[in-house]
Amino acid sequence: MTLIKLAFIVCGLLLVGAAWWSATMNARAADWPDTRGVIVHSEHRQAPDGDNDSVRIEYDYQVAGQARRGSKVGYAGGPSQSADKAALVARYPVGLEVRVYYDPADPGRAVLERSPSRAWIAAVLMGVALVAIGLFKDL
């Protein structure tokens, strides 16, 4: 087996694993209780090349009287296009009161969005395709 074939297989398996984890966490979050929170940081950093821009959203919340800070919006996967990232930041401006969904077994694990997503299906299909290419295609 060539190194290229092995790389396809490993990348495919990693993609399937990441998709499975995301779908599992999203399903768990659907049952999490909520508490009130407030956005304390909301930023869309655009890189000069336009390819490596990032989003950072942070929110404060309390569970059982203990103050916490979260930064995960959701498990469905973040936006990939710069315009979508800007829209996400606009949806969560600093000072906005939000509903924070937290894991009762680990209240430090929290999200702002817990809507189901089918994005994991595409990731699984892409991962399976990469594994199949690595196993059956002459590279």
pLDDT in tens, 6-63: 999 999 999 899 888 888 888 888 899 999 999 999 998 877 766 678 889 999 999 9
pLDDT digits (tens, 9 = 90+) for 102-134: 999 999 999 999 876 666 778 788 889 999 998
Distance CA(54)–CA(79), nearest Å, equals 10
Q: Which two tokens mark 130?
A: 């990469």
**pLDDT interval class at 80 (50, 70, 90):** low
Examine the pLDDT at 98 and tell me if it is beyond 70.
yes
The H-or-E segment that residue 100 falls in is strand 97-103
Q: Is the entire prediction scored with pTM above 0.85?
A: no
Distance CA(15)–CA(132), nearest Å, equals 13
CB atoms closer than 10 angstroms to residue 65: 5
Report the pLDDT value the prediction gives residue 66, as an integer from 0 to 100. Answer: 97
Report the pLDDT value the prediction gives residue 74, as an integer from 0 to 100. Answer: 87
